[in-house]
Amino acid sequence: MTAHAIAPARSRAENIQRIVTPGGIEAWLVESYAVPLVALEFAVRGGAAQDPADKPGLATLLAGLLDEGAGPYDARGFHRAIEDLAIHLGFGSDRDAISGHLQTLTRNKDKAFELLRLALTQARLDQAAIDRVRGQIAAGLKRDANDPDALAAKAFREAAFGGHPYGRPVRGDLESLDRLTRDDLDALRIRVLAKKDLKIAVVGAIDAATLAAKLDETFGGLPQESRLEPIPEVVIGDVGQRRIVDLDVPQATIRFGRPGIHRKDEDYFAAVVVNHILGGGVFTARLFREVREKRGLAYSVYSHLNDYDKCAMLVGGTSTKNERARESLDVIGRQIAELAADGPTEDELDKARKYLTGSYALRFDTSTKIASQLVNLQLDDFAPSYLDERNARIEAVTLADARRVAGRLLGDGKLLVAVAGRPQGL
């Protein structure tokens, strides 16, 4: 049986075919025979937000174990099978999804897809592998215990989200890691890895019919339905508050944030432009100009829009001498207040639109990047036409739009601030 092809979507990046396999699995395919490679990216909704409240880090540990032995292969044998054929295979977890990637030479695609199938459906989860990967995560957590950036991020997360699942550490903590068992891992795997919410993108030297057969072989053994716990919407909390983590270091590491604008909101693209003007642009942003260039307070300062499935935020950060932390935050606060009140200038708007539209193509300069972007579009429930519409939507942002949305995005200028160090005057 051949793949059922849905009408291809014309894209500024590539020609995307939306295919549905005989087994009902949907994927986006970009055929490209420039090099004999196939790159596949996939994701399922779930991720660390699905960790039990008393067992944070479970999804991260599971993702780290999927390629540590599967089917007839123990961990060493599985890695050898991948390396012998120069296959790249790996898995990861963030707050909202568990994802994976596969890259292989076309001549090795049969073996590569088979190894992916085994990892997803027959991961061994051997105790020796569990202990080893758990130890690797624990080592990273121990390093983070004295890392200002990690401590500021932790304080910010806990203040922003409290008891919400987003408030839990993605990698867990040293205490919770010790509680995670093989049964916990197996239960999460069965609950989250399923076909219904599977998002797949493939780029490379493979046709739709061949890919359809491979996808059914690879993913067909997964359960049809996931059993995800519902995650409530949440708005960043403690805005206007400051959290200090005392750490004996010469610099204060600062994280700040406030509620943002969701990707599906009609004002989102104007918010992208406003954020670029505030702190998203490397050399043209107001924060860079005022904090670094004019005052030399910090080497780097930034802001960006962070859009989780259940929360939109504007977040940012910088690092500065402890004695200049208050001044840095005062400058950041003034820039936010001024942009909220007056909006950007015409020149700032023009430069932001040109940069955002001109740099977009850099997200599609390799097969892996293209596949990753296409999976992200699927997770965000966008159609392939977004690739045509995105730059047009950026270009359509008027000065009136930017000024109105600056007021909406930045509002009263209040921020949740977390600082690791010994900042003076806070």
Gap between the terminal Cα atoms of the chain: 68
Question: Does the pLDDT of residue 296 top 80, yes or no?
Answer: yes
* 283/213 same-domain check: no
Query: Whats the size of the chain, residue-wise?
Result: 426
* 160/11 same-domain check: yes
pLDDT in tens, 309-327: 999 999 999 999 999 999 9
Question: Does the pLDDT of residue 11 top 80, yes or no?
Answer: no
- The residue among 201 and 1 whose pLDDT is bigger is 201
Mean pLDDT of the chain: 95
Phi first, then psi: give them for residue 28, nearest 5 degrees.
-105, 130
* 169/48 same-domain check: yes
* Angle at CA of residue 109, ends 377 and 84, nearest 5°: 115
Question: Does the pLDDT of residue 5 top 50, yes or no?
Answer: no
| Domain-ending residue, one of 204, 219, 234 | 219
Structure confidence at residue 236 as a pLDDT band (50, 70, 90)? very high
Query: How many independent structural domains does the chain possess?
Result: 2
Q: Is residue 234 part of a domain?
A: no
Residue 122 and residue 70 in contact, taking contact as beta carbons nearer than 8 Å: yes
Q: Which domain holds residue 291?
A: 242-421
* 262/393 same-domain check: yes
Residue type, 419: V
Structure confidence at residue 397 as a pLDDT band (50, 70, 90)? very high
Q: Is residue 364 part of a domain?
A: yes
* 143/288 same-domain check: no
* 214/361 same-domain check: no
Res 6: pLDDT: 45
* 198/249 same-domain check: no
* 107/147 same-domain check: yes
Res 255: pLDDT: 98
Residue type, 252: A
Question: Does the pLDDT of residue 234 top 60, yes or no?
Answer: yes
Model-level pTM greater than 0.85?
yes
Q: Is residue 225 part of a domain?
A: no
User: Which parts of 308-410 fold into alpha helices (H)?
Assistant: 325-342, 346-358, 367-379, 386-395, 399-410
Tell me the Ramachandran region of residue 162: left when phi exceeds 0, alpha when psi lies from -120 to 50, beta otherwise: left
* Residue of 405, 399, 380 whose CA lies nearest to 390: 380
Q: Is residue 230 part of a domain?
A: no
Mean pLDDT of 46-65: 97
* 211/256 same-domain check: no
Q: What is the DSSP-derived secondary structure letter of residue 131? A: H
Residue 8 CA to residue 14 CA, distance in Å, equals: 10
Q: Is residue 146 part of a domain?
A: yes
The residues that bridge with 18 in the sheet, in sequence order, are: 6, 28
Please report, rounded to a whole number, the percentage of residues in the chain having pLDDT higher than 90.
95
Structure confidence at residue 161 as a pLDDT band (50, 70, 90)? very high
Mean pLDDT of 196-224: 97
CATH number of the domain enclosing 42 = 3.30.830.10
Residue 68 and residue 133 in contact, taking contact as beta carbons nearer than 8 Å: yes
pLDDT in tens, 242-290: 999 999 999 999 999 999 999 999 999 999 999 999 999 878 999 999 9
Q: Is residue 235 part of a domain?
A: no
Residue 152 and residue 329 in contact, taking contact as beta carbons nearer than 8 Å: no
Res 14: pLDDT: 54
Question: Does the pLDDT of residue 13 top 60, yes or no?
Answer: no
* 258/303 same-domain check: yes
Q: Is residue 232 part of a domain?
A: no
Res 7: pLDDT: 42
Beta-strand ranges (E) seen in 296-415 are 301-308, 311-321
Res 160: pLDDT: 98
The rounded Cα 256 to chain-centroid distance in angstroms is 19
Res 283: pLDDT: 86
Q: Is residue 394 part of a domain?
A: yes
pLDDT in tens, 128-154: 999 999 999 999 999 999 999 999 999
Res 9: pLDDT: 39
Residue 96 CA to residue 256 CA, distance in Å, equals: 22
* 106/11 same-domain check: yes
Res 123: pLDDT: 97
* 180/251 same-domain check: no
